[in-house]
Amino acid sequence: MKYKISRKYLHLLIVILPLTVLLSFGFLSYLFLSYIQNNNHGQETVRYEKIFLESQKTMLRERVENMRAYIRYYDKKRSDQVTEELKNFVVAAAKISDNLYRNGKGKNTILAALRNVHLGERIGEIFVMNMHGFIYQHFDRSLEKRMARNLHDSEGRAFVQDFIRIVKYEKEGYNVYSWYKPGYPRDFMYDNLAYVKKIAYNDWFIGAGFFLDDLQKEIQADIVDYLDTHTKVNNGFFYILDKNFNIVYCPEEKVSKNLTRYAKQDMYIDAARNLYCSRYIKEYGWYLVGVKNLAESMRAFTREQVHKASKIHSIKKYLLLLGVALLVSILLSLYLSSVIFKKVKDYELQINAEHDKMMFRTKQALIGELFSMIAHQWRQPINKIASIVALLRAELHSDKCSPKEIDTKLEEIEESVEYMSDTIEDFRTFYKPTTAIKVVNLKDLIERSVLFLNNAIEKKQVRIVKKLADDIEIKLYRNEFLQVMLNLIKNAIDATDIGGTITLRLYRHGKRVIISVENTGTPISEEVMQKIFQPYFTTKKDSMGLGLYMTKIIVEKHMKGEILIERLPHGTKFLIII
């Protein structure tokens, strides 16, 4: 049993239901928020505190890791910069000595000029040697004017021989060795990075260098200055201890005796709720420690919780106001719906009357269009039957017609009549899917279409060129495919000049089947190409313009393919792709 709802109640249901749902949603939301605020606040706070602590550990760990990475990055960047400065300094000094040599200056003038070349405190004087290891000038005056080829540093390296080897084979380059610092006790040698380069004068080469520990101290001072002026940790700070746990850097107000203990642990929380994270920087022997005060952060969290509770209270108030507004809206909607319903009902009656009229006109138009299509499809077989009858009559009068010829002509008439009958059936079920789909050989159907139009072909003396594959069989509606081919070939005959050529092709392209109908003659215009598949469009005086329209519908809707038109220099080509 089917239940029906009157239009009036349906209209009221449509108006009231959304408002009722919104009112119920607002009331339930109010209850839900109250429950959360009153019963789950404590549990949520404990859970959030755990999440908060883990997030603070993660944030501080990432902060310390990023600072350690920055220190290493700055160390490399600054070392590369100073190393490049050293090379540029030695190259510039070599140019000075070479210019003096080219201008005819002697040894003493060149040495005096090089002794006065300096580049700050880090990179000292230029030293001058020859390829035999004799030192003419050096920052260590005790080495000047003596043979030092076999001189060794604290590691046993014959660094003068290393200089000579670099200059001999590479002309210039870097070398690390150790030697005494000027002004320091001569009980320890410090690592020195030197750059040497061959000059034009005799077999001399020059060089300069800097002590690596001086550069490291300079870089460490820059890093400490950076920490002091640029780094900010919310509710916290950084400090650095050396490998002996002496303070390298720490804000004055944060210095305490416990800093050493915290530096030895990866992560630690003290009694004052300070969170410590420590990382060791092997290159400097530093302990980098980040500190964050959790008590301050928790106070900020408490303020946030109070703010959230206030927002929940505001939401509850707004939901209550929304419920009242929705209730008023429902009552107002009930009144307005009764007024609107009468107007809508009158309008529906008017619309239904207009709809009935439009349906009657549409049915009339469909009936007229159907008869027009049938007449268009019948014209070709009727003409063929008339031609066969006329030919038979002429042959009977001349007594030249044999029974076999009569039987052949009658079979052709029967085929045309059968085609006309099939056409009636095809058009009757045109807009309905049919079950009369079967596997057919496309070559046979195309040749059958040509046979149907044989009279028109002979009348215009058109030459038919067939390039058809033998083995293409697909499932489709046989009669509909015949209609498509008849329309396309008939249009090609009409467009071809007397004695012209029509080329029919059938082949596979990948998984697709291609059928083309190409004719010679005057090429189609661009304007006609845009409209050629529209219903009732035609360029012929005796045509209703439905042939190609029907062809397009059959190909696209029933064959699930597409039909294309191509303008050629010598004619027109239609392509069917299935």
3-state secondary structure 300-330: HHHHHHHHHHHHHHHHHHHHHHHHHHHHHHH
Instruction: Tell me, yes or no, whether 184 lies in a domain.
Output: yes
Average pLDDT over the chain, rounded to whole?
80
Per-residue pLDDT, 352: 57
- pLDDT over threshold 80, residue 350: no
pLDDT in tens, 180-230: 998 889 999 999 999 999 999 989 999 999 999 888 888 888 888 888 776
Instruction: Tell me, yes or no, whether 200 lies in a domain.
Output: yes
Instruction: Tell me, yes or no, whether 376 lies in a domain.
Output: no
CATH of the domain at 101: 3.30.450.20
Instruction: Tell me, yes or no, whether 68 lies in a domain.
Output: no
Phi, psi of 536 (to 5 degrees): 70, 10
- pLDDT over threshold 90, residue 425: no
Is the distance from CB of 154 to CB of 170 less than 8 angstroms? no
Tokens encoding 489: 């070939």
- pLDDT over threshold 70, residue 302: no
More confident residue, 544 or 306: 544
pLDDT in tens, 99-125: 999 999 999 999 999 988 876 666 678
Segment 259-273 mean pLDDT? 83
* Structural domain of 505: 434-577
- pLDDT over threshold 80, residue 61: yes
Residues 6+ apart with CB under 8 A from 57: 267, 275, 277
**In a 3-state reduction of DSSP, which class is residue 457?**
helix
Tokens 């049915």 appear where? 363
Question: Which residue type, as a one-letter code, is found at position 204?
Answer: W
Look at residues 226, 222, 220 and name the one whose alpha carbon lies nearest to residue 241: 220
Per-residue pLDDT, 14: 63
pLDDT band at 128 (very low <50, low <70, confident <90, very high): very high
CATH of the domain at 510: 3.30.565.10
Per-residue pLDDT, 127: 94
Per-residue pLDDT, 105: 92
pLDDT in tens, 528-545: 888 888 877 788 776 667
Q: Select from 172, 187, 216 the last residue of a domain.
A: 216
Per-residue pLDDT, 1: 41
Q: Among the ranges 275-284, 335-344, 505-514, which has the highest mean pLDDT value? A: 505-514
Segment 557-573 mean pLDDT? 90
pLDDT band at 361 (very low <50, low <70, confident <90, very high): very low
Instruction: Tell me, yes or no, whether 43 lies in a domain.
Output: no
What are the start-end ranges of the E strands in 283-402?
286-293
Query: What's the number of domains the chain is made of?
Result: 2
Instruction: Tell me, yes or no, whether 222 lies in a domain.
Output: no
Query: Using alpha carbons only, what angle is made at residue 187 by residues 181 and 192, rounded to the nearest 5 degrees?
Result: 35
- pLDDT over threshold 90, residue 329: no
pLDDT in tens, 431-464: 444 457 888 899 999 998 888 788 788 888 999 9
pLDDT in tens, 229-242: 766 656 678 889 98
Tokens encoding 135: 């030192």
Look at residues 225, 178, 44, 201 and name the one whose alpha carbon lies nearest to residue 131: 201
Q: Is the pTM of this model over 0.85?
A: no
Residues 6+ apart with CB under 8 A from 533: 548, 549, 551, 552, 563
Per-residue pLDDT, 353: 64
Q: Select from 170, 196, 216 the last residue of a domain.
A: 216
Measured CA to CA in angstroms, residue 360 lies from 346, 366, 374, 427 at distances of 22, 10, 21, 21
Instruction: Tell me, yes or no, whether 461 lies in a domain.
Output: yes
Q: Select from 216, 241, 276 the last residue of a domain.
A: 216
Tokens encoding 43: 């549990």
Residue 205: burial class (beta carbons within 10 Å; 0-12, 13-18, 19+): buried
Instruction: Tell me, yes or no, whether 166 lies in a domain.
Output: yes
Q: Which of 27-36, 68-77, 505-514, 559-568 has the lowest mean pLDDT?
A: 27-36
